[in-house]
A = this chain, B = another copy of it.
Amino acid sequence: MAALDLFSESGFAHVSVKQIAARAGVDPALIYYYFAGKEDLFAAAVGHAVETGYAVFKRLAGDGDDPVRTLAVWLDVQEAPGSTIPKMARLGLDYRRSGASIPAVDAALKRFYDEERRMLMRVVRTGLARGLFHDVEPGPFARFVSTYLDGVTVRTVVLDESGPAAVDRFRVEMWRRLGLKTPPRRKKFIAG
C-alpha cells in the first residue's frame, strides 16, 4: 500500500485518509472497506515496513560469512532513496506522540528494533570469531549502531542534512570502532 509513503513522509497525524486515498487513486470510503480505521491502516503500513526490514535481515543473514559486507549493506539501506526502513524511527516517534497507543504498532516497532539488534550482534560475533574485529562487545555495539542510526534519521529530517553524508560519517566512525580500516563507500544498495 502506498499509504506507507505518505505516513513515513509526514507522520501519522499529518496525513489525512483523504490524502492517502488520493495518492492511491481510490475513494476514501474504500479504505474503510479494507481497514477498520486509520489506526488499522497505520498499523498495516508499519507492519509492512517491518516485514520489509525482515526481508533485508534475512538476505543479510545469508551474507553471514562476510560480516563487514553485511554492515556495509545495512548502512547503504539507510540512505537508499525512498527506503522505508530508516523511517521506522520517524513513524514510531510521531505515532508515540499521538497519545493513543496501538498495540499492533507497539509490537511491530519493538520487534523491528529487537531484530535489528539481533542481526548486529550476530554480525559482530561472526567477525570476532574470525578475528576480523577487535575489542568489540556485541551487545553494546549493536545498541550503539542502532541508536546512532536513529539519530542520523532525526538529523536528516530536522536539519535537512543530506542523509548519505551523515551515514558516511557514521561509517567511518563504526569501522574504526570495529578496529578496521575505513573502507571505500559502497555503491550497491537495497531498496526498502
- Tell me the bound Cα distance from A115 to B92 in angstroms: 28
Chain B CB within 8 A of A26 CB: no
- Kindly name the residue among A96, A113, A166 whose own CB sees the greatest number of chain B CB atoms within 10 A: A96
The one of B11, B150, B155 in contact with A97, judged by C-beta atoms closer than 8 angstroms, is B11
Chain B: CB-nearest residue to A10:
B97
Contact with B along A1-38 (1 / 0, CB 8 A): 00000000111011000000000000000000000000
Q: Are B147 and A166 in contact (CB under 8 A)?
A: yes
Q: Are A93 and B151 in contact (CB under 8 A)?
A: no
A153 smallest CB distance to B (angstroms): 7
- Tell me the bound Cα distance from A109 to B161 in angstroms: 13
Task: Give the chain B neighbours of A158 by CB distance below 8 A.
Answer: 89, 92-93, 96, 109, 113, 150
A/B interface sample: 14 pairs, CB < 8 A: A9-B97, A10-B99, A11-B13, A90-B97, A93-B154, A93-B157, A109-B159, A144-B173, A147-B155, A148-B151, A150-B151, A150-B154, A151-B152, A151-B154
Question: Which residues on A are within 8 Å of B, measured CB to CB?
Answer: 9-11, 13-14, 89-90, 92-94, 96-99, 109-110, 113, 140, 143-144, 146-155, 157-159, 166, 169-170, 172-173
Q: Which 10 A-B pairs have the closest CB atoms?
A: A151-B151, A92-B158, A150-B151, A147-B151, A150-B154, A11-B97, A10-B97, A13-B13, A14-B97, A148-B151
